[in-house]
Chain A
């Protein structure tokens, strides 16, 4: 079955630096990949979607890359702020069958002022 690994359960960085989160997967060929933000006690919030034929997507201070050869996605937050502190989840989806999303366990990011 598919396996999704997100780097380290927790990541601490200094305010203003770039945070880089990693999502690796095996036994799967996703048609697209999504990133979500989840705050304590809340449901995940959709951030970005990148498709298998796209190498990079940007949205404001966020950047996502998708390397289907390495089976990896990188999620970058530039000029990080304390308000960016949250858990970030990657999710893989395919375009066949039910088109469901499979989520990783998430990386908890803390931005230190």
Chain B
């Protein structure tokens, strides 16, 4: 089966600019996650979707981050405006059901200068 697709792979922006990341999960996976992984740390959950509804966005900095999952398939994560501390890898993952292993994409490496 095809894996979780993410784009772009790399992005460099200046602080205060905006950026968007795209994710296409594995077909049939109802649950989609966005994680932020800062260098040297483990992934930290930003938001979880179940189909096209938000299940948990308690860790999402809502003043600058937003995410949507239209039609319960693809998802986009946006940062506006970006800060230096947003430099990280943004990982998208999906799972068939919660409580099972996640399938991660390769991530988008964001550098904010």
Q: Which residue numbers of A lie inside 8 Å of B, CB to CB?
A: 4, 31-32, 34, 41-46, 49, 89, 91, 93, 95, 97-106
Contact = CB atoms under 8 A, between A and B. Distances in A.
A105 to B, nearest CB: 5
B12 interface: no
Q: How large is the interface on B (under 10, 10 to 19, 20 to 34, 35 or more residues)?
A: 20 to 34
A42 B52 CA distance: 26
Interface string B81-113: 000000000010100001111111111000000
A43 B93 contact: yes
A46 B103 contact: yes
- Chain B interface SS verdict (over half): loop
Contact of A44 (B41, B45, B99, B104): B104
Contacts of A95: 99
A96 B111 CA distance: 35
Given A43-B91, A93-B99, A98 B42 contact: no
Contacts of A46: 101-103
B101 A43 contact: no
A89 B106 CA distance: 16
Nearest to A108: B40
A106 B40 CA distance: 8
B101 A34 contact: yes
Contacts of B40: 105
Contact of B99 (A32, A43, A103, A106): A32
A34 B104 CA distance: 14
